[in-house]
């Protein structure tokens, strides 16, 4: 556990008591800080109280006596409207910070790699962490995925913290500094939290805000916002730039052409041979990870060993099972249309039985219409089922289901019945999970359980018939 002793005897408000909020509250208490914790949800407060975290009603805080304000990234601090506590704190010039800020303030001598972008963050972060661990480096991996950063091991200047960083976290981590920053892509997402696309882009640009001429920004050139940022930064010497692309040939940088990875025009690896990282979006993730790892000093052979031994990310195009003619794919992390498009592109040459639904996001699935001809059948569940049904119309045969369990059962039954070669039952929801599940991980785990039960039932039927 990180024990931030530089916060000893400080009065600190912690608002938001999910796992990361409870973790930072425990760390601060252990460091000797005076913690005043709160969550607007009674259930979360009860859970924190059972763990011995000191609670204080946020409405009674005397902000003039507070030194720091730790805010959960999920709580609005600006758009669409700031939480009332944020407004009160700002009156006395106290601005919210994140647990990532606490980590950096406590261990500034360690090296940091930060990864952000609309899609691909988790795969890229996990791949970088996997390769560093395999190389023997002292490394901790987390941030916006995995364990809270306060549960990291303390590591010295020879160690590396690899952090997935969301736009929300960047906005409340004013001093966070990365030796290597990765900006994968920027497409519309979470716009209500940033006041529109321009605000979202500005939030993503914070990944390199504290960069120095000794630091490196690995940046994709494959979307207009990132390309615009790159062109603007080329005129400055504020940070080293390492461009990556899956669309352009680069004389300097890392790029992928026809599935071949190149570094400074030298052929490095045939990515078509990797079974767990298929598709152009994963080529971008690999290029970014390769660039970041080379930037922290790893030799080419070590990086390639890490890439070729990586088995992919849970809930992101994860192969759950293969039975008969059917492969089951868990892409629960596909919570927006942009992410789902990448999954559909990977499997468009195979019969797809698509499971989608949940709590809809802005924009719906209209942008996925080019992939509709590749869908054998769709199975809709959750709050988005009716609106998605209207969008699919007569172009895609589809079935309305009560929940994910029913959708999985119906899709599996039809895929087995039709016996089409190399069929795929694909959970790629294009929605948040919150109508029926706590998070996308819980949704993905439920899908895996349903698949396991259905395959066991299928095996029992075969045995009985025999």
- CB within 8 A of 222, min separation 6: which ones? 185, 245, 246, 247, 248, 284
Q: What is the pLDDT of residues 359-406, one digit of tens each?
A: 998 889 999 999 999 999 999 999 999 999 999 999 999 999 999 999
Residue 344, token pair as written in the block: 């559909």
Residue 462's pLDDT band (cuts 50, 70, 90):
very low
Q: What is the pLDDT of residue 157?
A: 77
Q: Is the pLDDT of residue 292 over 50?
A: yes
Q: What is the pLDDT of residue 459?
A: 74
Q: What is the pLDDT of residue 460?
A: 61
Q: Is the pLDDT of residue 185 over 80?
A: yes
Residue 461's pLDDT band (cuts 50, 70, 90):
low
Give the C-alpha separation, 441 to 173, whole Å. Answer: 26
- CB within 8 A of 25, min separation 6: which ones? 14, 17, 35, 37, 48, 53, 70
Q: Is the pLDDT of residue 280 over 90?
A: no
451: enclosing H helix or E strand: helix 440-465
Chain mean position to CA 125: 9
Give the C-alpha separation, 63 to 15, whole Å. Answer: 13
Of the listed ranges 54-63, 201-210, 232-241, the least confidently predicted one is 232-241
Q: What is the pLDDT of residues 121-175, one digit of tens each?
A: 989 999 999 999 999 999 999 998 888 999 999 997 789 999 999 999 999 999 9
Three-state SS annotation for 286-353? HHHHHHHHHHCCCCHHHHHHHHHHCCCCCCCCEEEEEECCEEEEECCCCCCHHHHHHHHHHHCCCCEE
Question: Three-state SS for 242?
Answer: strand
110-117 mean pLDDT:
97
Which has the closest alpha carbon to 351: 309, 382, 314, 397?
A: 397
First-last CA distance in the chain = 56
Task: List the domains of the chain with CATH numbers.
Answer: 5-91 (3.40.50.720), 99-309 (3.40.1190.10), 318-465 (3.90.190.20)
Q: Is the pLDDT of residue 209 over 60?
A: yes
Residue 23, token pair as written in the block: 């973790």
Q: Is the pLDDT of residue 463 over 60?
A: no
Q: For residues 415 and 325, is the Cβ–Cβ distance under 8 A?
A: yes
Q: Quick one: residue 215, left, alpha or beta (phi over 0 = left, psi -120 to 50 = alpha)?
A: beta
Give the C-alpha separation, 459 to 406, whole Å. Answer: 19
Of the listed ranges 35-39, 255-259, 453-457, the least confidently predicted one is 453-457
Q: For residues 7 and 70, is the Cβ–Cβ distance under 8 A?
A: no
92-101 mean pLDDT:
96
- CB within 8 A of 43, min separation 6: which ones? none
Q: For residues 217 and 242, is the Cβ–Cβ distance under 8 A?
A: yes
């Amino acid at each position: 556990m990180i024990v931030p002793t530089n916060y000893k005897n400080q009065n600190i408000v912690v608002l938001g008591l999910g796992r990361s909020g409870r973790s930072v509250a425990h760390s601060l208490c252990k460091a000797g800080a005076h913690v005043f914790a709160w969550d607007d949800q009674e259930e979360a407060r009860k859970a924190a109280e059972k763990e011995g975290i000191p609670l204080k009603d946020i409405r009674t805080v005397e902000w003039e006596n507070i030194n720091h304000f730790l805010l959960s990234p999920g709580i609005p601090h600006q758009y669409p409207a700031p939480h009332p506590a944020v407004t009160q704190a700002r009156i006395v010039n106290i601005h919210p910070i994140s647990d990532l800020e606490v980590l950096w303030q406590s261990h500034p001598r360690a090296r940091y790699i930060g990864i952000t972008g609309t899609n691909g963050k988790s795969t890229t972060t996990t791949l970088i962490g996997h390769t560093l661990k395999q190389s023997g480096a002292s490394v901790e991996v987390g941030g916006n995925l995995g364990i809270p950063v306060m549960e990291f091991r303390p590591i010295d200047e020879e160690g590396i913290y690899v952090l997935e960083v969301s736009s929300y976290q960047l906005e409340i981590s004013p001093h966070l500094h990365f030796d290597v920053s990765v900006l994968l892509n920027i497409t519309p997402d979470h716009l209500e939290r940033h006041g529109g696309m321009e605000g979202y882009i500005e939030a993503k640009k914070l990944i390199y805000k504290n960069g120095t001429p000794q630091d490196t920004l690995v940046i994709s050139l494959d979307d207009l916002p990132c390309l615009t940022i790159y062109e603007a930064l080329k005129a400055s010497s504020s940070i080293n730039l390492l461009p990556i692309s899956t669309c352009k040939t680069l004389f300097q940088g890392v790029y992928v052409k026809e599935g071949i990875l190149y570094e400074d025009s030298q052929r490095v690896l045939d990515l078509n041979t990797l079974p767990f990282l298929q598709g152009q979006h994963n080529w971008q993730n690999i290029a970014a990870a390769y660039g970041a790892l080379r930037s922290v000093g790893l030799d080419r052979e070590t990086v390639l060993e890490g890439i070729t031994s990586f088995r992919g990310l849970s809930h992101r195009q994860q192969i759950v099972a293969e039975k008969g003619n059917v492969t089951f794919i868990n892409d629960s992390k596909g919570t927006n249309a942009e992410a789902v498009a990448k999954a559909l592109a990977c499997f468009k040459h195979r019969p797809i039985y698509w499971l989608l639904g949940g709590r809809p996001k802005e924009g719906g699935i209209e942008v996925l219409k080019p992939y509709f001809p590749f869908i054998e059948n769709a199975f809709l569940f959750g709050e988005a089922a009716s609106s998605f049904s209207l969008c699919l119309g007569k172009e895609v045969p589809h079935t309305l289901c009560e929940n994910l369990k029913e959708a999985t059962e119906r899709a599996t039954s039809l895929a087995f019945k039709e016996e089409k070669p190399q069929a795929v039952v694909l959970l790629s929801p294009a929605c948040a999970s919150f109508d029926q599940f706590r998070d996308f991980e819980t949704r993905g785990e439920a899908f895996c359980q349903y698949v396991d039960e259905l395959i066991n039932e299928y095996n029992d039927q075969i045995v009985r018939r025999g």
